[in-house]
Amino acid sequence: MNENRPQQTGVENLLAQDTQVSTFQFEEFRMNLEASIQDLQQRAHTVRRASHWGLGIFVTCVLLTPVLEVFGLFDHVWARRVWSGCGVLAMLATGVLAAIYTYRFQPALKRARSDLQSAEITQLQQQVAELSRQLDSQ
């Protein structure tokens, strides 16, 4: 433990030189970051749920097409066009929502979680340095 002491004092000296780092409010930053992550997760969950609904509507349209044909509900051209339009619209909406989730929310969530982990580690290091200073002063 004494072998690490010169290195720790070097780190403490560096932290003491940079007042922005040593006085930075990591707790408040972490709490704001957690709130941002929760907001982002909620929006991502909403987009993902909407894409699942779109997929369900598309599959329903596809699976019910033969049933509606058998019962003669597609005798009118407008009914067939409306049903096909709903299926195509659901398919396109599902694709767009899945792309939004994959390319916007997934990377942002990974990055935010990584930032949160880094902030927690930095805050822990700051707390350890503070406790070490308190022990040395006693």
Residues of the chain with pLDDT under 50: 1-2
Q: What is the pLDDT of residue 60?
A: 93
pLDDT of residue 36: 86
How much is the pLDDT for 1? 46
Domain ranges in the chain? 38-112
Cα gap 29→35, rounded to integer Å? 10
What's the token pair of residue 24?
A: 């930075």
Question: Of the candidates 22, 20, 19, 21, which has an alpha carbon nearest to the alpha carbon of residue 133?
Answer: 22
What is the spatial distance between Cα 129 and Cα 117, in angstroms, rounded to a whole number? 18
- The answer to whether the beta carbons of residues 109 and 37 sit under 8 Å apart is yes
Q: State the Cα–Cα distance between residues 103 and 2, nearest whole angstrom.
A: 49
Query: What pLDDT is attached to residue 91?
Result: 94
Residue 54: predicted pLDDT:
93
At residue 94, the pLDDT reads: 94
**What pTM value is reported for the model?**
0.64
